[in-house]
Structure 1
Amino acid sequence: MTKHTILCVDDEIDNVDALERLFRRKYTVLKATSGKEALTVLDQNPGLLALIITDQRMPEMTGVEFLEKTLESHPETVRILLTGYTDLESVIMAVNKGQIFRYLTKPWDPVDLTNTVDHAIERFAIGQELKQKNAELAKALEELKSLDVAKSNFMILINHELKTPLTSILSFSSLLSESNLNDEDKLMVNRITRSAERLKNLVEDVLLIVRAETNQLKIDTQNIAFTQFDDIPKDLQNMLTQKQQTVVSKLEPIAVKADVRLIKQVMQRLIHNASKFGNESSEIHIESMKNGNNLRFIVSNKGPHLPSTVVEKITKPFYIDEDVMHHSTGTGLGLTICQSILKSHNSFLQFKNTGQGVMVYFDLALA
């Protein structure tokens, strides 16, 4: 194990030799008999210096003056001041200008001085360890930033490389569906079209999340009062019909600051979730109410409760819980997309189990 290096400075050579004998077994000891000589010794030994022990009263340069000169070249070095005088002015100068660790009076007690030096070296070692950890964290952060840029570039590539062939597939499948096909061929073309549409939606969903997480999601904020959410997509309307569910709205005509298109997308996905996991022949309630300087939007259904362990996970990308969420297919992106959109509006989803089902809500700032 490499010994830590300490520098002992005193205009009395006997004191310097005494300090060397006291510490040479545990540490590498450098010596000087004046502040000027000590600065020369530091120049000649450019390695890490753990500790400086210096006398205060020395000719030409005091201990505090010497320590002050070392601050720039050795900022991490720990400093101990020795003096035969205990005047308050020297103590204040030592603390303010010399940035000392301890102030000890002569004659020193060997046990007290040894313990003080050991504590000083320990402090230096901890400081070096923290410096190394900080450097490692900084390097890791830079690597994460590089990965983030790479992820964004990758998603841009996907945007082009996947959407281009998908457009061709959808265009030609549409042309095929208009052709004179037999029933079996029509079935295959329809399946191709549905799969291509699903892949297109998946690509767009992933890109939306990436844009939101990399602060590239464009927000067209305006003052808007959401009094109804009646533009329900066909697939969601079919689900509501099949499960004999009805949507009941009670929305306050109060304006909020929001991107209309994105918030409508959030509500559609929350209604979709409420329908999928809600009981058949039940009502899905959409409400809004003032909450301080915000307007709170609430979507609630009647159905099974969400365990707290699931609540912590379902807004994370690609989370699927077959036993609790009761679905056999899906990418688990719906709530993540909602969370990403709301993050761009300085909001987030919250969940609460009610007496008969689950309530999901979020806040938007009042206009």
Structure 2
Amino acid sequence: MSKHTILCVDDEIDNVEALERLFRKKYTVLKATSGKQALEVLDQHRGPLALIITDQRMPEMTGVEFLEKTLESYPETIRILLTGYTDLESIITAVNKGQIFRYLTKPWDPVDLSNTVDHAVERFELGQQLKTRNSELAKALEELKSLDVAKSNFMILINHELKTPLTSILSFSALLSESSLADEDKLMVNRISRSADRLKSLVDDVLLIVRAETNQLKIDVQNVAFSEFDELPKEVVNLLNQKQLKVTNDISPSGVMADVRLVKQVMQRLIHNAAKFGQENSAIEVKVIADGKVARFAVSNKGPHLSTRVIDKIMKPFYIDEDVMHHSTGTGLGLTICQAILKAHSSQLQFDNTDQGVTVFFELPLANP
């Protein structure tokens, strides 16, 4: 590790040499016998300067005047003033104009001076580290700003460059399905339609997440009382039937402040998630119960408990708790979308392992608590 550089200034050459002998083992020492000469030394110096030690009473230029001239070129350098005078006015001037770290009276105590210099250099090191960290933070901030711009551009790309041709595919496949086609042709058109629907669903999901992450998700908050969540997507109904799962509702019609459409989407996704991981021939319980100033929306399924590690994983985008190489379905965005919607409502998903399985819930403020 290279030595830090310090500058010693005193119009008495013996004092300068004494300072050099005291510090040359630990530091690279620059010397000057006047303020003018010290400025010339600094003009020739390249690289950081950790510390300046200067006498106050010098001909032509006082120590404070010299230190004041170094502030612009070396703003981060620590400054120590040596003086044989202790009048209050000189000290105040030194602090205000020279920005000194400490002043010491002559004759100095070598131990005290050494300790003071070590502390001053440590302070300089901390300042350099802080400067580096600030620079790194500034760079990270710029990268985040660039990322936000990229997200916005991505939204534009999805909205136009992907959704426009996708709309054409869906429209023409719908027209084809109404035409007189051979059985094999109908099969191919149906597969095109299903794939296009899956792609549209993925595009819409990703777009919702990006909107939420860029604080562009618009919510229409109203006073609403939910009474049921039976309008489930076809794929959820099919999964419930396949696993012979029954959905039971225990809904207290309490008015909450929320976006009806988005909250219904959250509940549909939570029911879908419960159906995927719930035990066959069991029940999925949907509850909305007023509790104090909030209403708790909960979906419970019978099945294995979730560890903290698994919860962390399934909350990450694109995590699929299945073997992707064995034709797993889904994109792993369901809970991420729920969390994004709830974040816009100042809420969040929470998990609770119960005696029989797992409950996922969130809370919304009551309209009239």
TM-score by length of 2: 0.85
Is the CA contact 1:32–1:41 (under 8 Å) kept in the aligned structure 2? no
Shift in Å, 1:253: 2.8
* Closer/same/farther in 2, CA of residues 39 and 251 from structure 1, 3 Å limit: farther
Shift in Å, 1:64: 5.7
In 2, the alpha carbon distance for the partners of 1:108 and 1:344 equals: 64
Alignment of 1:36-75 (within 5 A): 48-56=48-56, 67=67, 70-71=70-71, 74-75=74-75
Shift in Å, 1:207: 0.9
In the alignment, which residue of structure 2 is the partner of 1:322? 322
Amino acid at match of 1:328: S
Instruction: Say which is worse superposed, 117-126 or 83-92, in terms of deviation.
Output: 83-92
In the alignment, which residue of structure 2 is the partner of 1:235? 235
Is the CA contact 2:34–2:59 (under 8 Å) kept in the aligned structure 1? no
In the alignment, which residue of structure 1 is the partner of 2:133? 133
Is the CA contact 1:314–1:320 (under 8 Å) kept in the aligned structure 2? yes
* Closer/same/farther in 2, CA of residues 49 and 341 from structure 1, 3 Å limit: same
Alignment of 1:209-358 (within 5 A): 209-322=209-322, 328-358=328-358
Partner SS, residue 207 of structure 1: helix
* Closer/same/farther in 2, CA of residues 100 and 150 from structure 1, 3 Å limit: same
Is the CA contact 2:295–2:365 (under 8 Å) kept in the aligned structure 1? yes
In 1, the alpha carbon distance for the partners of 2:73 and 2:256 equals: 57
Shift in Å, 1:348: 1.2
Shift in Å, 1:57: 5.6
Instruction: Say which is worse superposed, 50-59 or 84-93, in terms of deviation.
Output: 84-93
Shift in Å, 1:93: 7.0
Shift in Å, 1:73: 5.1
Is the CA contact 1:13–1:33 (under 8 Å) kept in the aligned structure 2? no
Amino acid at match of 1:246: K
In the alignment, which residue of structure 1 is the partner of 2:22? 22
Shift in Å, 1:335: 0.5
Partner SS, residue 322 of structure 1: coil
In the alignment, which residue of structure 1 is the partner of 2:201? 201
In 2, the alpha carbon distance for the partners of 1:64 and 1:135 equals: 31
Aligned CA RMSD, in angstroms, stands at: 3.1
Is the CA contact 1:23–1:29 (under 8 Å) kept in the aligned structure 2? no
* Closer/same/farther in 2, CA of residues 167 and 291 from structure 1, 3 Å limit: same
In 2, the alpha carbon distance for the partners of 1:59 and 1:363 equals: 76
Instruction: Say which is worse superposed, 188-197 or 252-261, in terms of deviation.
Output: 252-261
Tell me how many residue pairs correspond in the alignment.
364
Q: Unaligned regions of 5+ residues in structure 1, if any?
A: none
In 2, the alpha carbon distance for the partners of 1:304 and 1:120 equals: 60
In 2, the alpha carbon distance for the partners of 1:255 and 1:61 equals: 78
Q: Unaligned regions of 5+ residues in structure 2, if any?
A: none
In 2, the alpha carbon distance for the partners of 1:65 and 1:53 equals: 13
Shift in Å, 1:142: 1.0
In 2, the alpha carbon distance for the partners of 1:292 and 1:65 equals: 68
Is the CA contact 1:3–1:28 (under 8 Å) kept in the aligned structure 2? no
TM-score by length of 1: 0.85
Shift in Å, 1:171: 1.6
Partner SS, residue 284 of structure 1: strand
Is the CA contact 1:320–1:330 (under 8 Å) kept in the aligned structure 2? yes
Alignment of 1:4-19 (within 5 A): 4-19=4-19
Amino acid at match of 1:188: M
Shift in Å, 1:263: 1.0
Shift in Å, 1:271: 0.9
Instruction: Say which is worse superposed, 248-257 or 329-338, in terms of deviation.
Output: 248-257
In 1, the alpha carbon distance for the partners of 2:77 and 2:139 equals: 24
In 2, the alpha carbon distance for the partners of 1:247 and 1:125 equals: 64
Alignment of 1:147-162 (within 5 A): 147-162=147-162
Partner SS, residue 298 of structure 2: strand
Partner SS, residue 107 of structure 2: coil
What is the percent sequence identity of the aligned residues? Answer: 76
Alignment of 1:93-108 (within 5 A): 99-108=99-108
Is the CA contact 1:298–1:360 (under 8 Å) kept in the aligned structure 2? yes
Instruction: Say which is worse superposed, 188-197 or 178-187, in terms of deviation.
Output: 178-187
In 2, the alpha carbon distance for the partners of 1:219 and 1:340 equals: 12
